Amino acid sequence: MGYNVAIDGPAGAGKSTIAKLVAKKKGYIYVDTGAMYRGLAIHFLEKGVSADDRDAVAEACLDADVSVKYEDGAQQIYLNGRNVTPKLRMEEVGNMASRASAIPAVREKLLELQRTLAQKEDVIMDGRDIGTNILPNADVKIYLTASVETRARRRYDELKAKGEECDLQKIARDIEERDARDMNREIAPLRKADDAVLVDSSNMSIEEVVDEICGYCRL
């Protein structure tokens, strides 16, 4: 039985960055859902399935197995036992993943794959509904957040470092709007699980957040 850590929280809270660092420190598998969608997309392309044919996509899901492994410190995606990592960044794969991800059968398949992986391996997942929906029985649940002002400033600094022009107030408004959408969406809305630990990173360094979350992990 795997040891599971779920990290949920709003956009810009640093969930993926923190989850990857905790995974590295604790030896967990970081579950990259985007890469898993791309693995499924490769399966659909190889079967010659069109993303417009939802019935064909649903049928193709039946014999697809996508898993995440780490080899020599690098993430590898396996499709039905075959390493397909080199194909993940192909443009046609990205396009198929984007279109197929809106199909309920694909999302259900990914949920099944994620839960199967979590049963077998020690994993950490981040998202909006990991602790409430995907891994409701996770050993550790974290709700990672930060103030809108902090998240906006982080995003602003990130864009400025890339040489992009941006407006701090607009970024803050966009974050507030996204929070509202995530918290009020009909399917699996963002919320703190009743048994999740609240971690507010507004005044914490990345290292401090990683250390705090690792402190809640028995394994």
Tens digit of pLDDT per residue, the chain (219 long)? 899 999 999 988 999 899 999 999 999 999 988 899 999 999 999 999 999 999 999 999 999 999 998 888 888 999 999 999 999 999 999 999 989 988 999 989 999 999 999 999 999 999 888 999 999 999 999 999 999 999 999 999 999 999 999 999 999 999 999 999 989 988 778 999 999 999 999 999 999 999 999 999 998
Q: Tell me the pairing of strands 140-145 and 197-200.
A: parallel
At residue 172, the 3 state secondary structure works out as helix
Separation of CA 183 from chain center: 17
119, 2 contact by CB (below 8 A) = yes
The angle at the Cα of 33, spanning 29 to 34, to the nearest 5 degrees, equals 125
Max intra-chain CA distance, the chain: 50
The pLDDT value recorded for residue 217 is 97
Structure tokens at 14: 């640093």
Structure tokens at 162: 């890339």
The angle at the Cα of 69, spanning 67 to 72, to the nearest 5 degrees, equals 160
The pLDDT value recorded for residue 128 is 85
